[in-house]
Amino acid sequence: MIKLPLNIDYKDKVVVITGAGGLICGAMARAFAQSGASVAALDLNEEAVTKLARELNEEGFVCRGYGANVLDPEALEVVHQRVLKDLGKCDILVNGAGGNNPRATTDNEYQHEAQEGKKSFFDLDPSGVDFVFKLNFQGTLLPTQVFAKDMVEKNCGCILNISSMNAYTPLTKIPAYSAAKAGISNFTQWLATHFAGTNIRCNAIAPGFLVSAQNRSLLFNEDGTPTKRSAKILNGTPMDRYVDASELLGATLFLCDNNSASAITGVVLPIDCGFSAYSGV
Ligand code: NAD
């Protein structure tokens, strides 16, 4: 059980969450389930969402895990049919599957620091760049094409996308991920406009820097002191700390609630300890 930041009743709501096998969306799946929703947890990693669903079921909450690739429209449609049968029509879609890839990342921050044998901008693998664009952009568009049909039929619904700090100003080394997340912020506004007449709201959150199992060793030395990149991040963060995944849940529950956020659509909400507000001076 987690401590919920807001008490909003999501009973009778079907919430579909992609990337629910991961850190952020796993926490969101828990928060929605504990708030009474029926949760469909989708992930490429079927084992992770099966485990999450089993744990939530044992605690008395409603969650089903489905193995699904957000880039495969046919597989998504199969999962859609299973969700319809198991839980009912989708009321809320969280597009959480996403991420970067080393093939689309440079080793150096600046060209004048490029070194022989290291990956510079000129060595970026176009297929790696393509992979990151596809995963983040099409990985949001395709599940929306599948699950928002239910919302159109109901003439009501909510979509929550996940953008990032690098959508506002790109981060060094990760040009494709930065541009793809800028695309997500832009697409969030497009969807909000497109679906406004069918009572479907679409918003995004833009999480700041989180510490996860994958990036812990990049952010902290063995003795717990920050690495050079970590010190740069914290110097650029007025609150001088990282964001915890649990701190994304209040905004998630609020933005997806048709009562509390009924007039909010097309916004991208930074949850970043002030990172995007600070000029560095
Ligand atoms: P994570 O790696 O813990 O979770 C991502 C999940 O997506 C994984 O379980 C993975 O299996 C799944 N996934 C990957 N490709 C998939 C595919 N093709 N189909 C279905 N599932 C797929 O990452 P996270 O940190 O929880 O990130 C969740 C979202 O938040 C991502 O969109 C990420 O870009 C974004 N984000 C993360 C941070 C951060 O600091 N962690 C910051 C800003 C934004």
Question: Which listed residue (10, 177, 242, 278) is catalytic?
Answer: 177
239 domain residue, yes or no = no
In a domain, 204, yes or no: yes
- For 240, the 3-state DSSP assignment is coil
The answer to whether residue 223 sits within a structural domain is no
To the question of pTM greater than 0.85 for the whole model, the response is: yes
Count of domains forming the chain: 1
Amino acid, res. 21? G
Best of 16, 17, 18, 23 for a ligand 1 pocket test (most atoms within 8 Å of beta carbon)? 23
| Cα angle: 180, vertex 186, 188; to 5 degrees | 105
Q: Give pLDDT, residue 216.
A: 86
Answer whether residue 234 is part of any domain.
no
236 lines ligand 1 (CB under 6 A): no
Q: Tell me, yes or no, whether 228 lies in a domain.
A: no
Ligand 1 centre to CA of 22 (Å) is 6
What gap in Å lies between CA 120 and CA 194, rounded to an integer?
39
- Asked if the structure places residue 250 within a domain, the reply is yes
In the prediction, which pLDDT does 206 show?
Answer: 98
Q: 3-class secondary structure for 88-153? A: CCCCEEEECCCCCCHHHCCCCCCHHHCCCCCCCHHHCCHHHHHHHHHHHHHHHHHHHHHHHHHHHH
30-60: pLDDT as tens digits: 999 999 999 999 999 999 999 999 999 999 9
Which one, of 42, 35, 47, 104, lies nearest residue 68 by Cα? Answer: 42
Q: What are phi and psi of 42, to 5 degrees?
A: -105, 140
Residue-number span of the structural domain to which 135 is assigned: 14-214+245-277
Residue 270 placed within a domain: yes
| CATH code of the domain in which 114 resides | 3.40.50.720
Which residue ranges in the chain fall short of pLDDT 50? none
Residue 235 within any structural domain of the chain: no
Q: Where are the alpha helices (DSSP H) in the chain?
A: 23-34, 46-58, 73-86, 126-133, 139-154, 175-194, 216-219, 228-235, 249-255
CA distance 140 to 251: 19
